Structure 1
Amino acid sequence: MHPTDPPCSPKDVLPRTDDSTGKDNLKSGVLDQFHRLQPQVLEDTFRPPNYLLEQIQVSSAEKLYYDPHHTNRYKRPDWFAVVRVEPLDEPRNLTANGVTWQKMFNPFVVVELLSPETEREDLGEHLEELHPDPTKWEVYEQILHIPYYVVFDGKSDRLRVFQFAGNCYTELELREPRVWMNDIQLGLGLWQGVYQGLERLWLRWYKADGRWILTPEEREQEHARRLAQQLRDLGIEPDGNLRVHSPRRKHNEL
């Protein structure tokens, strides 16, 4: 990946919506299912090897308060992750009451899933009507200085990644649909596969060697395959219902 040199204004890098092009064959129900499941894929595979689970906080569609002087102002990222050197006070999965961020733990990465209703605000273009609050882009870039801002259009399968550099976001030139984030020793890319019965392109995290980080279901299947092979090595043919449940992990086991 190599940074391009666009101006700081997001209006200059906004994509133009053209209903006559792109992959427009997804039914609205399937797209809704994608928007519901994609944050779970990100959470299931977010395992930075240089952080303990207690040092990680992830959330989807929770309130992210950004102004301690106006506590009713917030944004709802589709998904974001916080990593800290010291363990976080709150549990890893945030509650339905939202994020108060009294200590202002800024996210390391935010992911927005574009839709026609949210595209303009997600990419920093103000609505026609007068709106006193900043857009998501402005909050992530100018207020919170979030290092990585990822936008993915599940309809066109277009992935765009912006990195905070200097005082604004710079769009990264992706030679392939993936990006490496060295600070967390993880990469984020597009994977074609089946998740909870839906086959399509998904955003998911991968390791330094390029292998995708397994979801809990995939880890269970892998354990079952290994156990089945061990039984065969002993001359025992396992039955087709063999299942192995992975033990609860205290650290980030990859």
Structure 2
Amino acid sequence: MLLNYNPNHCFPSAEDLPDSDDTPVDNELQDLIPHVLKDILALIWSERMDWFFGVDMGIYYNPKQPTDVIVPDGFLSIGVPRIIDSDLRLSYVLWDEQVIPTMVLEVVSQTRRAEYTNKKEDYAKMGVLYYVIYNPLRKRKPRLEVYQLNNKEYELLPGEPVWLSQINLGIGRETGIYQGIEREWLYWYDQQGKRYLTPEEKAVEAQQQALEAKQQALEAKERAKLLEERLRSLGIDPNEL
């Protein structure tokens, strides 16, 4: 979604604003889980340069109050340059970017930060299409909830993985290994519900394929050697065939 701001107004740029609210995350998962999604996107969208995934980065959304900032654990914007310059982004300033994030992710920790109340309302007012809340501490209620904005209000989307049609990806949970840690992570999925691999998993898969190819080559060489020996035992020179 594009925004329209008067270019004649002198709003502060990203260089003039803090890159976060300086509030540290209180759970390592708030950093790792968004990075899983970002790493996979960097792999499956490696040829695309029209997207940006921010992790623990401030979003400045109110030009009337330029210091107003909200800092989600992760967010995805589509239709913006992936890289703006060699210094990369310091923060995400809506009146500079002109594109509202398509998806925002919040990872709930023991210290609640109004993920189900105030932040949800703020993202709806901002116009964020998809709001994703992952609460790994939940035991009875769903840990993953995905909302879509409809008539300025969020509606819970059913199923899992949840298909995000405007992103052309699904999002869901699965147990896997990331940075050597085995637990439940969030992943992207294709339209058939197949999970996209992380770069680590892709590397392991490529290594396994290389080993299998090497083993197949050795087996083929051994079969050829046995065949040659069999032919010679029958008085047939394989070189004359």
Task: Return the TM-score normalized by structure 2.
Answer: 0.70
Percent sequence identity over aligned pairs: 27
Cα 1:178–1:190, aligned 2, differ >3 Å: closer, same or farther?
A: same
Give 1:90's aligned amino acid: I
Q: Which has the larger radius of gyration?
A: 2
**Structure 1 unaligned blocks of 5 or more:** 1-30, 125-134, 238-254
Residue number in structure 2 paired with 1:165? 150
Residue number in structure 1 paired with 2:173? 190
User: Shift of residue 91 of structure 1?
Assistant: 6.1
Cα 1:195–1:103, aligned 2, differ >3 Å: closer, same or farther?
A: closer
CA distance in 1 between counterparts of 2:105 and 2:135 reads: 11
Residue number in structure 2 paired with 1:251? none
Residue number in structure 2 paired with 1:145? 127
Give 1:193's aligned amino acid: G
Cα 1:82–1:236, aligned 2, differ >3 Å: closer, same or farther?
A: farther
Task: Return the TM-score normalized by structure 1.
Answer: 0.67
CA distance in 2 between counterparts of 1:207 and 1:92 reads: 32
Residue number in structure 2 paired with 1:108? 102
Cα 1:35–1:67, aligned 2, differ >3 Å: closer, same or farther?
A: same
1:224 has 2:219 as partner = no
- Is contact 1:51-1:83 (8 Å) kept? no
Equivalent of 2:91, from 92, 95, 98? Answer: 98
Give 2:137's aligned amino acid: K
**Structure 2 unaligned blocks of 5 or more:** 1-25, 221-241
Residue number in structure 2 paired with 1:32? 27
The alignment covers a number of residue pairs equal to 191
Cα 1:170–1:91, aligned 2, differ >3 Å: closer, same or farther?
A: farther
Cα 1:194–1:92, aligned 2, differ >3 Å: closer, same or farther?
A: farther
Runs of 4+ in 1 over 3 A off after TM superposition: 47-52, 86-89, 91-95
Residue number in structure 2 paired with 1:59? 54
- Is contact 1:49-1:185 (8 Å) kept? no
Cα 1:92–1:229, aligned 2, differ >3 Å: closer, same or farther?
A: farther
Cα 1:152–1:94, aligned 2, differ >3 Å: closer, same or farther?
A: farther
Residue number in structure 2 paired with 1:211? 194
Structure with greater contact order relative to length (CA < 8 Å, sep ≥ 6): 1
- Is contact 1:180-1:188 (8 Å) kept? yes
* CA offset digits 1:226-254 (Å, max 9, x no partner): 112222222189xxxxxxxxxxxxxxxxx
CA distance in 2 between counterparts of 1:91 and 1:187 reads: 30
Cα 1:37–1:232, aligned 2, differ >3 Å: closer, same or farther?
A: same
